[in-house]
Amino acid sequence: MKLKELESCLQQVDTFENPKLLLEQYPTRPHIAACMLYTIHNTFGDIEDKVVADLGCGCGVLSIGAAMLGAGFCLGFDVDEDALEIFRTNADEFELPNIDLVQCDICSLPAQCLVKAVDTVIMNPPFGTKHNKGMDMTFLKTALQMARTSVYSLHKTSTREHIQKKAADWNVKMEVVAELRYDLPASYKFHKKKSVSSYALFFVIKLYSRL
Ligand X SMILES: C[S@@+](CC[C@H](N)C(=O)[O-])C[C@H]1O[C@@H](n2cnc3c(N)ncnc32)[C@H](O)[C@@H]1O
Residues that bind ligand X (CB under 6 A): 23-28, 56-58, 61-62, 78-80, 83, 105-107, 124, 126
**Is 31 or 173 the residue whose CB approaches ligand X more closely?**
31
CA 56 to chain centre: 7
Buried-state track 133-172, b at ≥16 Cβ within 10 A, e below 16 = eebbbbbbebbbbbbebbbbbbbbeebeeebeebbeebeb
Residue 162 CB, nearest distance to ligand X (Å)?
A: 18
Question: Do 120 and 147 contact (CB within 8 A), yes or no?
Answer: yes
Counting Cα atoms < 13 Å in the Cβ hemisphere of 188 gives 13
Beta partners for residue 54, in sequence order: 76, 122
Counting Cα atoms < 13 Å in the Cβ hemisphere of 46 gives 24
The Cα 54–Cα 101 span in angstroms is 9
**Is 18 or 171 the residue whose CB approaches ligand X more closely?**
18
**Is 21 or 168 the residue whose CB approaches ligand X more closely?**
21
**Is 88 or 173 the residue whose CB approaches ligand X more closely?**
88
Residue 210 CB, nearest distance to ligand X (Å)?
A: 26
Which stretches does DSSP call E strand in 40-170?
A: 51-55, 73-78, 99-103, 118-123, 147-156
Residue 105 CB, nearest distance to ligand X (Å)?
A: 4
**Is 165 or 199 the residue whose CB approaches ligand X more closely?**
199
Residue 19 CB, nearest distance to ligand X (Å)?
A: 8
**Is 79 or 172 the residue whose CB approaches ligand X more closely?**
79
Residue 154 CB, nearest distance to ligand X (Å)?
A: 8
For 36, 143, 193, 205, the CA distances from 211, given in Å and listed in that order, are 25, 17, 45, 11
Residue 68 CB, nearest distance to ligand X (Å)?
A: 15
